[in-house]
Amino acid sequence: MLNAKKVLLSMKNINKSYPMGDSSLQVLFDVNFEVYQREFVSILGPSGSGKSTLMNIIGCLDVASSGTYILNGKDISKLKDKELASVRNRDIGFVFQSFQLLPRMSSIDNVVLPLIYAKVPAKERKQRAMVLLNKVGLGDKVMNKPKQLSGGQQQRVAIARAMVTDPAIILADEPTGALDQATGAQIIELFKQLNSEGKTIIMITHDPKIARQAGRIVHILDGRIYSQEEYERIYDEDGVKWTEREERPTIKERRRRRLANV
Ligand SMILES: Nc1ncnc2c1ncn2[C@@H]1O[C@H](COP(=O)(O)OP(=O)(O)OP(=O)(O)O)[C@@H](O)[C@H]1O
Ligand SMILES: [Mg+2]
Instruction: Specify which residues 15 forms β-bridges with.
Output: 66
- For residues 4-31, average pLDDT: 94
Quote the pLDDT of residue 117.
83
Quote the pLDDT of residue 227.
83
The CATH number of the domain covering residues in 7-226: 3.40.50.300
Could you tell me which of 153, 152, 136 has the C-alpha nearest to residue 144?
153
> Do the Cβ atoms of 180 and 25 come closer than 8 Å?
no
d(CA 151, CA 215): 25
Please give the distance, rounded to the nearest whole angstrom, from the Cα atom of residue 48 to the centre of ligand 1.
5
How many other C-beta atoms are found inside a 10 Å radius of the C-beta of residue 120? Answer: 17
| b/e burial code for range 231-250 (CB count within 10 A of at least 16 → b) | beeebbbebeeeeeeeeeee
pLDDT-wise least confident of 52-66, 72-86, 208-222, 228-242? 228-242
Q: For residue 228, is pLDDT > 90?
A: no
Question: In whole numbers, what is the pLDDT of the chain averaged over residues?
Answer: 92
Instruction: Specify which residues 69 forms β-bridges with.
Output: 11
Residues with CB under 6 A from ligand 1: 18, 25, 27, 45, 47-53, 206
Phi-psi domain of 223 (left: phi exceeds 0; alpha: psi -120 through 50; beta: other): left
Please report, for the chain, the start and end positions of each structural domain, with discontinuous segments joined by +: 7-226
Return the best residue to mutate from 15, 25, 44 for the ligand 1 pocket (most ligand atoms within 8 A of CB).
Answer: 25
- For residues 47-65, average pLDDT: 94
Atom of ligand 1 at shortest range from CA of 47: 25
Atom of ligand 1 at shortest range from CA of 223: 14
Please give the distance, rounded to the nearest whole angstrom, from the Cα atom of residue 205 to the centre of ligand 2.
8
Amino acid identity of 162?
A
Task: Collapse the DSSP code of 244 into the 3-class scheme (helix H, G, I; strand E, B; otherwise coil) and give the result.
Answer: helix
- For residues 214-228, average pLDDT: 92
Could you tell me which of 192, 176, 150 has the C-alpha nearest to residue 141?
150
Q: Could you say which ligand is closest to the alpha carbon of residue 47? A: 1
Could you tell me which of 114, 100, 96 has the C-alpha nearest to residue 51?
96
Could you tell me which of 175, 164, 150, 148 has the C-alpha nearest to residue 111?
164
Helix 181-196 and helix 151-163, axial crossing angle in degrees, nearest 10: 20
Kindly give the pairing relationship between strand 92-96 and strand 7-20: unpaired
